[in-house]
A and B are shown apart, each in its own frame.
Chain A
Amino acid sequence: MRITNAMMSRNLLANVARSTARLARFQEQIATGKRIARPSDDPSATARILGGRTRIANIDQLLRNAERSVSSLGTIDSALGEVGGILGQAREVALLGANATVTDQDREGAAIQVDAMIERLLQIGNTFDGARFVFGGHKTLDAPFVRSSGGIEYQGDDAETVAPVDVAQEVPFLMPGSRAFRVAPATLGGDEDLDPDIWEFTRVADLNRGAGVALGPIAITDSDGATATIDLFGATTVKEILDRINAAGLSVAAGLNAEGDGIALANLGGGTTISVADVGDGIAASGLGIRGAFAGGVQGSDLDAAVTETTPLALLRGGLGVTVTTLSIANEIDGERREADVDLSFARSVGDVLVGLARAATPEGESLHVEGAIDASGSAFLVRSSLPVTRLTVRDASGPIGSTGAADLAVDGTATQRDLLAVLERLRDALREDDQDGIEEALALIDDGLSQNLLARAEIGSRVERVDTVRESLIARRADAESALSGVEDTDLPEAIVRSNQEQVAYQAALTAASRTLSLSLMDFLR
């Protein structure tokens, strides 16, 4: 190839220019610490950098959300802790007031103490964190607990406020006062013993109000004088007990007693006396209410079966039964009244009623948020709102087919939710009036309140724990995103410096070589 002088100088210039451009690029990378200065330097890296930065910014925002949630949950938790303390004091005061030997003066002193507690609770309930009333639900701009003529009223709502702490993960960071200061939801019934009869399928474990009967061997001597020892151990239902007795070959016929609430042994033999006894240490016969010697047949005592979901409605009220057709239910949630006539005519058992109530909805399909339940003693039925801050009304619907179910189940009437302030007001008034029943009632409610308080604090604790878990994972993800971004965005300094030095050497070499060769010319040698 012919090499001309123009080519040499053009190549030199081009090489030098390229070399300087590369040098400048390395210098820029070293000086800024960034691998790319403009998006076009590396378009795919740009996309990754933008994605990485957005990811980190999102995580930072979620971390800020988490931190603020934890701090506001902390405020709630310390307020709830104080509430728990006040309730403990209130309980002591109530116990003192329940003592009949206490003077009126002492009780008045106690009432004043309770008044101070109410005042303190009111302050806590109206905690203002600088921006909002934290216990107001969504009505955070007005004090949620307000004194009115009828006592202290909660005027907030029942809504939770949630903070996004991760993608599709939200944690409530406040707690409405209706929940934090709750004693019990609006509840109807729960105090009348429905006294169900027993039937063949009554479980032995449900007898004696759910305490059950310890079964073992019993000895029965029929009126003919024949004696048999029958082991009842392992029988699960009343029917099994009866079957085992009937299978013993004695002249007795086991069945239910006349009231339907116990066991009877009819005499089939020639004599008159049937005697039943426990064998050894057993207490089965006495537990079943049939121990002893009976003339003309055994009529066992009331076995006091508990109300269970399987209990047929017809067995309730000592066998009178309950006629549930249509209940008219109204539940005012947050001032919004939802009501419906709930058709329960399909119900044959207590469980059917529970199912029917849980499904209860307005004609528009909005849930009434009511639930039925069997009370803790196992003897009574209750209907309550599944949401706090409600006013619940249940009555039998009027209509051609009369329903007496609400009255029969003792759940008719109207109830509103009770909060701690109302309970303490009740206690104060009872103390002043020396109303022992009132004090007892308030004491029981305070205990409910304490357990609700513990539940609420446990809930707050679990929320904090959830946020902490999320925060840890966010921090880990942030570190990952950060290092991924750094790998794309940041200059690899050692590499850049080494390459910059190499480039300088190459640059110098190019210049030196060019200065030698460009100055050479044949002209110099032709004389």
Chain B
Amino acid sequence: MPGLFGAFEIGRRALLAGQAGLSVTSQNIANANTPGYTRKIARQISVEGARLPEGIVGSGVDVTRIERVRDAFLDGRVLGSRAELGDARARASFLREVEATLDDLGDGSLTSAVGAFFDAWHDLALSPESLELRAAVRGAGSKVASLLDRQSEALSEQRRRLAESIPSDVADVNARLGRIAELSRRIATIEAGGAAANESRDERQREVEELSEIVEVSAAESPTGRFLVRVGGAIVADGDHAIGVSLVRIGDDDAAGLSGGGADEGLALVAGSVTLAPRAGALAAKVDAVNAALPSILTRLDEIAEGLAESVNALHAAGTGLDGSTGVAFFDAGEGGAGAAARIRISAAVRADAGKVAASADGGPGDNGTARAIADLSRTATLRGGTRSVGQVVSEMSEAVARETGDAAFLEEARGHFVEALENRRDSVSGVSLDEEAANLVAYQHAYEAAARVMSVANEMIATLLAEVR
């Protein structure tokens, strides 16, 4: 529609485009701090016009659609790295607790208790007829036993608490999957009308990302447009249908939950009938802690308790106590094996009478052969088929826990940085820059003013024309 009325029409469209731009800009400014918000831009095109003798003049501007500015590649990267961050965070958290329980650098560490125990035997060797030093040996042994008991009890307790906290995480996962399915449904409804459901998509992306921190998921739209959320390959949300995740116990006959501390019992995540194997995420780390990490430390403590009891008892039973008794065990660790650390204590005979502590190898009260031999256990390799001393196994455990905790803490920080860097990169694309929006605001304002000016000029021209005609 060329001519003056054409100019009117172009002006009208420009005014509308300016209003639309202003709306988008104000929405961007309003949501500058909304988590997961993607900045929008109003896509403008110039509209084809009528053919004039001079050529074709466009017939103004049109806002075709409001677009989210996103980089799908970065979205995928963020999903994976947030899962790894959640994983490292959970791992570091429970390992720090283990570290605090073992307190290896503190005065109450197992290393120092074991050292003090063997020192007490040294002292007894120097005065093998002393009853007081026997009581001291018994006291030092009892300290080692109760420390082993306390540490293994604390670790079992930690494992129980972790196991108890997992169902609420699973509930959280399912709630998020439900919201994702609901959002998928809403998006489908909105987009059936042809418009892009931008805000719901932002919201769904945010939910998926937060979910990934708990359990690593991959999310993609199928060729048919269904939004699929997968955990380790298995589908847990299919479009508007949330399949959900559930928790099953394996090998545990105690309803109160994982009391045995055995390595053969634990937890597994399933979706329907499929067992899930999430690669990362806080939930995956917790399940791993319950199933493997904590039991392996408990097993070390059991090994120490059993090895200490066996090697001390073997020498002790061959020695003679102050009262001439022989064949007396010093420690009582039950039948050994799993749970030995929780059971180890001073044997009933020695508890009742410190005189039963054997220092003598030849039966004479002045002999210290047995005391020396037991004191030597601090160096002698009697554990792991005669390749490690008790102290070495203790310090290997300490070092392993320290190393794992240190690694987890390092990963937590490193992955935190990585996620931060990724989010910065994504913000660089999708985030709202207030300066930019301010500049847009001014641009749209000027465009609006100019378009209004076009209208008024066209109006004057038409008035001039009508006056001549009258």
A residues contacting B by CB (< 8 A) are 1-7, 10-11, 14, 34, 36-44, 46-47, 49-51, 53-54, 57-58, 61, 64-65, 68-69, 131-132, 136-141, 157, 159, 161-164, 167, 170, 173-174, 521-523, 526
Query: Which A residue's beta carbon lies closest to that of B410?
Result: A40
Given the known inter-chain contacts A68-B126, A161-B128, A161-B367, please indicate yes or no for A11 contacting B372, CB distance below 8 A. Answer: no
Q: State how many angstroms separate the Cβ of A510 from the closest Cβ of chain B.
A: 16
Which residues of chain A come closer than 8 Å to B407, judged between CB atoms?
Answer: 43
Given the known inter-chain contacts A5-B432, A10-B423, please indicate yes or no for A141 contacting B399, CB distance below 8 A. Answer: no
Question: Which B361-402 residues have a C-beta within 8 angstroms of A?
Answer: 362-368, 372, 375-376, 378-379, 391, 395, 398-399, 401-402
- The answer on a CB contact under 8 Å between B115 and A51 is no
- Distance in angstroms between the alpha carbons of A54 and B367 in the assembled complex: 27
**Chain A CB within 8 A of B171 CB:** no
**Chain A CB within 8 A of B82 CB:** no
- The answer on a CB contact under 8 Å between B32 and A64 is no
- The answer on a CB contact under 8 Å between A39 and B428 is no
- The answer on a CB contact under 8 Å between B431 and A7 is yes
Query: Which B residue's beta carbon lies closest to that of A141?
Result: B365
**Chain A CB within 8 A of B459 CB:** no
- The answer on a CB contact under 8 Å between B433 and A164 is no
- Distance in angstroms between the alpha carbons of A163 and B379 in the assembled complex: 16
Q: State how many angstroms separate the Cβ of A17 from the closest Cβ of chain B.
A: 10
Given the known inter-chain contacts A6-B431, A57-B115, A164-B372, please indicate yes or no for A11 contacting B424, CB distance below 8 A. Answer: yes
Which residues of chain A come closer than 8 Å to B366, judged between CB atoms?
Answer: 132, 136-141, 159, 161, 174
| A46 in complex: contacting residue of B128, B367, B398, B420, CB < 8 Å | B398
| B126 in complex: contacting residue of A40, A69, A522, CB < 8 Å | A69
| A54 in complex: contacting residue of B130, B364, B395, B439, CB < 8 Å | B395
- Distance in angstroms between the alpha carbons of A6 and B423 in the assembled complex: 10
**Chain A CB within 8 A of B409 CB:** yes
Binds A, one of B45-53, B104-112, B192-200, B222-230: B104-112
Given the known inter-chain contacts A46-B398, A132-B127, A163-B125, please indicate yes or no for A139 contacting B365, CB distance below 8 A. Answer: yes
Describe B's contact surface by its main secondary structure: helix
Extra contacts besides A5-B32, A39-B398, A161-B367 (14): CB < 8 Å? A5-B433, A5-B434, A7-B431, A10-B424, A34-B105, A39-B105, A39-B399, A54-B115, A61-B118, A65-B126, A68-B127, A139-B365, A159-B366, A162-B368
Query: Mask for B433-446, Cβ within 8 A of A = 1, else 0?
Result: 11110110110000
Q: State how many angstroms separate the Cβ of A188 from the closest Cβ of chain B.
A: 28
- The answer on a CB contact under 8 Å between B424 and A7 is yes
Q: State how many angstroms separate the Cβ of A112 from the closest Cβ of chain B.
A: 35
Which residues of chain A come closer than 8 Å to B40, judged between CB atoms?
Answer: none
Query: Which B residue's beta carbon lies closest to that of A167?
Result: B379
- Distance in angstroms between the alpha carbons of A4 and B128 in the assembled complex: 78
Q: Which of the listed residues A14, A40, A53, A61 has the most CB atoms from chain B within 10 Å of its own CB?
A: A40
- Distance in angstroms between the alpha carbons of A159 and B360 in the assembled complex: 12
Which residues of chain B come closer than 8 Å to A522, judged between CB atoms?
Answer: 434-435, 438-439
- Distance in angstroms between the alpha carbons of A43 and B360 in the assembled complex: 41
**Chain A CB within 8 A of B288 CB:** no
Q: State how many angstroms separate the Cβ of A484 from the closest Cβ of chain B.
A: 16
- Distance in angstroms between the alpha carbons of A257 and B8 in the assembled complex: 166
| B127 in complex: contacting residue of A40, A47, A131, CB < 8 Å | A131
**Chain A CB within 8 A of B122 CB:** yes
Given the known inter-chain contacts A54-B115, A139-B365, A164-B125, please indicate yes or no for A2 contacting B395, CB distance below 8 A. Answer: no
Which residues of chain A come closer than 8 Å to B364, judged between CB atoms?
Answer: 137-140, 157, 159
**Chain A CB within 8 A of B429 CB:** yes
Q: For chains A and B in complex, what number of residue pairs have CB atoms within 8 angstroms?
A: 176
- The answer on a CB contact under 8 Å between B129 and A46 is no
- Distance in angstroms between the alpha carbons of A171 and B58 in the assembled complex: 110
Q: State how many angstroms separate the Cβ of B86 from the closest Cβ of chain A.
A: 18
- The answer on a CB contact under 8 Å between A43 and B129 is no
Query: Which B residue's beta carbon lies closest to that of A58?
Result: B378
- Distance in angstroms between the alpha carbons of A137 and B428 in the assembled complex: 87
**Chain A CB within 8 A of B67 CB:** no
- Distance in angstroms between the alpha carbons of A222 and B401 in the assembled complex: 104
- Distance in angstroms between the alpha carbons of A50 and B400 in the assembled complex: 13
**Chain A CB within 8 A of B9 CB:** no
Query: Mask for B98-126, Cβ within 8 A of A = 1, else 0?
Result: 01101011000001100100110011011
- Distance in angstroms between the alpha carbons of A53 and B107 in the assembled complex: 11
| B402 in complex: contacting residue of A47, A51, A58, A139, CB < 8 Å | A47
| B111 in complex: contacting residue of A7, A53, A64, A68, CB < 8 Å | A53
**Chain A CB within 8 A of B285 CB:** no
Q: State how many angstroms separate the Cβ of B361 from the closest Cβ of chain A.
A: 9
| B372 in complex: contacting residue of A47, A159, A162, A521, CB < 8 Å | A162
- Distance in angstroms between the alpha carbons of A57 and B379 in the assembled complex: 13
**Chain A CB within 8 A of B96 CB:** yes
- Distance in angstroms between the alpha carbons of A132 and B129 in the assembled complex: 7
Q: State how many angstroms separate the Cβ of B22 from the closest Cβ of chain A.
A: 14
**Chain A CB within 8 A of B168 CB:** no
**Chain A CB within 8 A of B464 CB:** no
| B119 in complex: contacting residue of A37, A47, A61, CB < 8 Å | A61
- The answer on a CB contact under 8 Å between A39 and B395 is no
Question: Which B414-456 residues have a C-beta within 8 angstroms of A?
Answer: 420, 423-424, 427-429, 431-436, 438-439, 441-442
What are 30 sample pairs from A and B whose C-beta atoms fall under 8 A apart? A2-B436, A4-B433, A5-B32, A11-B420, A39-B102, A39-B399, A39-B401, A39-B405, A40-B95, A46-B399, A46-B402, A50-B104, A50-B111, A51-B395, A57-B112, A57-B115, A61-B119, A68-B126, A68-B127, A69-B126, A138-B364, A140-B128, A140-B364, A159-B362, A162-B368, A164-B122, A164-B125, A164-B376, A167-B379, A523-B434
- The answer on a CB contact under 8 Å between B402 and A39 is yes
Which residues of chain B come closer than 8 Å to A69, judged between CB atoms?
Answer: 126
Q: List the 7 shortest-distance A-B pairs measured between CB atoms, nearest first.
A: A138-B364, A140-B366, A39-B402, A4-B431, A40-B405, A40-B406, A43-B402
Query: Which A residue's beta carbon lies closest to that of B122?
Result: A61
- Distance in angstroms between the alpha carbons of A136 and B129 in the assembled complex: 12
- Distance in angstroms between the alpha carbons of A437 and B115 in the assembled complex: 62
- Distance in angstroms between the alpha carbons of A132 and B368 in the assembled complex: 13
- The answer on a CB contact under 8 Å between A526 and B129 is no
Query: Which B residue's beta carbon lies closest to that of A62?
Result: B122
**Chain A CB within 8 A of B403 CB:** yes
- The answer on a CB contact under 8 Å between A7 and B438 is no
**Chain A CB within 8 A of B273 CB:** no
Which residues of chain B come closer than 8 Å to A157, judged between CB atoms?
Answer: 364
